[in-house]
Chain A
Amino acid sequence: MSTAAVAVQGLRKSYGKVEAVKGVDFEVAPGEVFGFLGPNGAGKTTTISMLCTLVNPTGGSALVAGHDVVTERDEVRRNIGLVFQDPTLDGYLSAEQNLMFHAELYGLPKSTVGPRIRQVMEMVALWDRKDAKVSTFSGGMKRRLEIARGLLHSPRVLFLDEPTVGLDPQTRAAIWGYINDLRRSEDITIFMTTHYMDEAEYCGRIAIIDHGEIVVIDSPEALKASVGEDRVQIQTGDDEAAIAALRDRFGLEAAVREGQVTFAVASGEQFVPRLFAELGMPIKAVSVSRPSLDDVFMSYTGSTIRDAESGSGNAWMRAMARR
């Protein structure tokens, strides 16, 4: 008997007329690392908030650890740990006091609280700073402490909402180290959202979400294989003419992405010499890349993740609303 750690059917959320999540379906198996990948404003945080009982869905259903997120909120809450993108620590308290607060709030057996706090703090290498006030911590230390806190009560599902956003590369790598260790040492399912392509590679399966809808769900390898072709980007003096020339002479569909003429082609390295010889106009620079999740995202949504973010007026409006 293996019930899914997370099972979602037709989950929807509207804020007034805006449909943030437009009916998503997916299942996450126990022990899986499942990633939600999409640009800012795609509906990732709204979905995670519904799964964590913080926001009531407008429609559809979701079971987390076998319990309904609307009718069995307490059962869900007992079984999940959370790390949000914005810190939720009390800066006035010490690191250890923050964890003690959590242990009491979750009613952990008194005898296990001390050793367990020590264990999770050692895991994120903060035990020697346990008595320092959290307000003196750097962003990376705070995030590590939040991860420790999210694990304190041994949740069956750990939700990580953009766990590494705004952190330096070293801290990001460290946090991924903890997450990988976790999968080995604890019986836990990890559900995370990210808009970093390279981080999505750590996941067992990825759901690409855009405009509140799931575009595709598969493993990173399968997704990359589905794209197949290499990505070629060129810089020219006249992008319009280059796009027209690519269409006329090679039958390739190209578009301007990230300021460069971009197109997909099989065996890119072999294609480049032909390109220089036959394009009929000077090329200033060329790059060929193997398919990455970025390309996957592009092939499924028609834009790169960065274009999707800068292009959406939504992101700007949200930024203003947050003020």
Chain B
Amino acid sequence: MTSDAIAVRVPRRSAAHDLRALKVVLHREMLRFLNDRTRMVSMLIQPVLWLFVMGTGLGTLVSGAIPGLDFRTFMYPGMISMTVIMTAMFSAGSIVWDREFGFLREMLVAPVSRTAIVVGKCLGGAVVATGQGIVILALAGAVGVPYDPVLMLTLLGEMFLAAFTITAFGVMLAARMKNMQSFFGVMQMAIMPMMFLSGAMFPLANLPSWLHVLTTVNPLTYAVDPMRQAVFGSLDVAPQVNAMLNPGVSWFGAKLSIGLELGLVAAIGVVLLGVAVAQFRRAE
């Protein structure tokens, strides 16, 4: 038994302290992901299935309609976003897991700002999801997308942004959830329609107007479109094929710039983050 206690003082709150807290929450997210092999494998298999099984199957159906382009190439940016979205949602869900298993309490009684905890969690989700997306990036060649460094970096940045916003959305949902089942129920309900309406699975050109309206109010649309634009920008595609498969997003007939789309995604992310922090700040 050591008799002399080592003197430790908890310092006053400071930005540096909050930053350390943020870093350790982020660090834990990554450790957890690396320790959870099954989650890693299943997250990797899913997009591969979509891309090579669904993509190949659907591709034979539409091969006549899109001359000179592999359908899987069209699906590729969609699959990147799907992978990133699912991973990010799972990361956000871990906050419910933390609540169920009590670990959330360990974080909530600590003398750190709730912002540091929530931002750390969201960055963690974003990093893990981006890592997952890198695996899909590595498959680019298999579906006819060139390994152009500029394209890869652009996609990486866009993935990270999308992942951050989605994690913030998930954390906001998770803030009040008491168990995993209800979180996954709500998540399915929210994510499925958002995914369908985002242009990840089918092109958003020539849709009936009611469906078009739904796609433009869907925040995910603005996360998927920049990735598609980036991929198509690096391909040599006939103009009519490009118009059909890569129409961009327009408001009242005016096409949105990529910068504006990314800005929208970032803005939505920040707002959701703010709501999530506010929810954690409220004690029971």
Contact = CB atoms under 8 A, between A and B. Distances in A.
Interface string B251-284: 0000000000000000000000000000000011
Interface stretch (B8-16, B81-89, B139-147): B8-16
A104 interface: yes
B6 A56 contact: no
Nearest to B16: A107
Interface in B80-128: 98, 101-103, 105-112
A77, A112, A123 — most chain B CB neighbours (10 Å): A77
Interface in A104-120: 104-109, 112, 115-116, 119
A152 B110 CA distance: 12
Given A97-B31, A123-B1, A105 B110 contact: yes
A116 B14 CA distance: 22
Contact of B109 (A54, A93, A101, A123): A54
Interface stretch (A83-91, A215-223, A281-289): A83-91
Given A101-B24, A186-B5, A55 B283 contact: yes
A93 B1 contact: no
Contact of B7 (A84, A102, A154): A154
Contacts of B109: 52-54, 77, 80, 82
Contact of B111 (A100, A104, A106): A106
A74 interface: yes
The interface size bin for chain A is: 35 or more
A185 to B, nearest CB: 6
B13 A112 contact: no
Contacts of A112: 6-8
A88 B106 contact: yes
A269 interface: no
Interface in A60-110: 73-75, 77-80, 82, 84, 86-93, 97, 100-102, 104-109
A238 interface: no
Nearest to A159: B109
Contacts of B110: 77, 102, 105-106
Contacts of B28: 90, 93, 101
B21 A107 contact: yes
Contacts of B24: 100-101, 104-105
Contacts of A278: none
Contacts of B6: 112, 115-116, 119
Contacts of A116: 6, 8
B35 interface: yes
Nearest to A178: B1
A108 B10 CA distance: 6
A74 to B, nearest CB: 5
Contacts of B176: none
B2 A123 contact: yes
B56 to A, nearest CB: 37
Contacts of A115: 6
Given A101-B28, A109-B8, A54 B102 contact: no
B3 interface: yes
Which 5 A-B residue pairings sit nearest by Cβ, starting from the closest? A104-B24, A88-B102, A107-B17, A77-B111, A78-B10
9 contacts: A52-B109, A78-B10, A84-B102, A92-B32, A93-B31, A119-B5, A122-B2, A153-B8, A185-B3
Interface of A: 52-56, 73-75, 77-80, 82, 84, 86-93, 97, 100-102, 104-109, 112, 115-116, 119, 122-123, 149, 152-154, 181, 184-186
